[in-house]
Chains A and B, each alone.
Chain A
Amino acid sequence: MSAHEGSEVEAHAVGSTRLFVTVWVWLAVITFIEVFLAYERLRPDLMLTLLVVLSLVKAALIVSYFMHLKYEKISLALLLIPTTIFCICMIIIFFMPDGLRLMQMRMGH
């Protein structure tokens, strides 16, 4: 019994074919949800929010399972992910207030 449990943990650590196919199916389903949203032609701001959220879910699935980060030492994820998010937030802080200002200016007249 314990030997069986041990082998299962090991198989899970490298990831089984079934796990990869499940993750892939989820990624495909989220892609089709995104395409459906485009088909519905939602308001651009709502559309952008939904698309970014869904894409972040897809990115998390790819990074954790396909890129194996979930099974690495936690120190690697703690090094890579917060720094990336911090830098992206810095880009957003520099770009976006001005982009929104320009949008309001052109919608004003």
Chain B
Amino acid sequence: MAETKTVVGVPVSSPWGGGGSPFAINSKKFGMWLFIVSDTLTFSALLLAYTYERLANPNWPRPFEIYPAIAKSTSMTIILLFSSLTMVLGVAAAHKNDRAKTVRYLLLTALGGLAFTVLHLTEWVNLFHEGYTPWSTPQGVPLFGATFFGITGLHMTHVTIGVIYLIIMAIGYGKGKFTSDDVEVSGLYWHFVDLVWMFVFPMIYLMSVSLSG
């Protein structure tokens, strides 16, 4: 290994010779980025399908009152954004090798995700009481129920998986099983979950604010 290997005169250590990563990141991080691109396309397709149904259907339900539904979903948005801030501070602490601080930030982020999920579930229960279910609405537009619960449900699944991921990461990193790079990869996932909500919230909630009252 002391002498530089060459393949037809090109040093193997060159990025174009297969000797280095052309993106200068580790494979876990690259894998997470590729997952994020594919998941972005999943949610894009769902949100565009939702918009299509909305354009194509007369009497599309607009069930969200400013208070409580919009007030609640706005506070959910701020909580999720805040958990993104604690996540990024956790990643910064991990890069400084401050394990105790990183674990605290990771658990705080997971707590934010949990608060988001609980608020979201109470919002769902309200909608159930108003007669909105995944297969029916009071206006007789079952597609609203199917798309609304489908998209927010898929997002909530991502948040729940993220909370579990972060708790595992906090325990493992605290024990020294994971490196700061692993924390950064979990951070990428968490910010992505936040990013998706930044589109779900305006396109589903804010576009369907109740016209009465």
- A residues contacting B by CB (< 8 A) are 14-15, 17, 20-21, 24, 27-28, 31-32, 34-35, 37-39, 41, 44, 47-48, 51-52, 54-55, 58-59, 62-63, 65-68, 72-73, 75-76, 79-80, 83-84, 87-88, 91-92, 95-96, 98-100, 102-103, 106
Q: Which of B70, B82, B198 contacts A58 (CB 8 A)?
A: B198
User: Shortest Cβ distance from B3 into chain A, in angstroms?
Assistant: 28
Q: Give the residues in chain A near B30, CB-CB below 8 Å.
A: 76
Knowing A31-B78, A72-B23, A76-B33 are in contact, say whether A20-B88 is a contact too (CB < 8 A): yes
- CB of A103 within 8 A of CB of B56, answer yes
Bound complex: CA A28 to CA B194 (Å): 13
- B residues contacting A by CB (< 8 A) are 22-25, 30, 33, 36-37, 40-41, 44-45, 48-49, 51-52, 55-56, 58, 66, 70, 74, 77-78, 81-82, 84-85, 87-89, 92, 95, 184, 187-188, 191-192, 194-195, 198-199, 201-203, 205-207, 209, 211
- CB of B70 within 8 A of CB of A47, answer no
- CB of A15 within 8 A of CB of B81, answer no
Q: Could you jot down 12 A-B contacts, CB within 8 Å?
A: A20-B92, A31-B201, A47-B206, A51-B203, A58-B198, A59-B199, A67-B188, A67-B191, A72-B23, A84-B37, A87-B44, A102-B56
- CB of B37 within 8 A of CB of A91, answer no
Q: Which of A28, A55, A87 contacts B202 (CB 8 A)?
A: A55
Bound complex: CA A100 to CA B195 (Å): 27
- CB of A91 within 8 A of CB of B191, answer no
Q: Give the residues in chain B near A84, CB-CB below 8 Å.
A: 37, 40-41
Q: Which of B41, B52, B202 contacts A54 (CB 8 A)?
A: B202
Bound complex: CA A80 to CA B38 (Å): 10
Knowing A14-B95, A91-B45 are in contact, say whether A80-B84 is a contact too (CB < 8 A): no
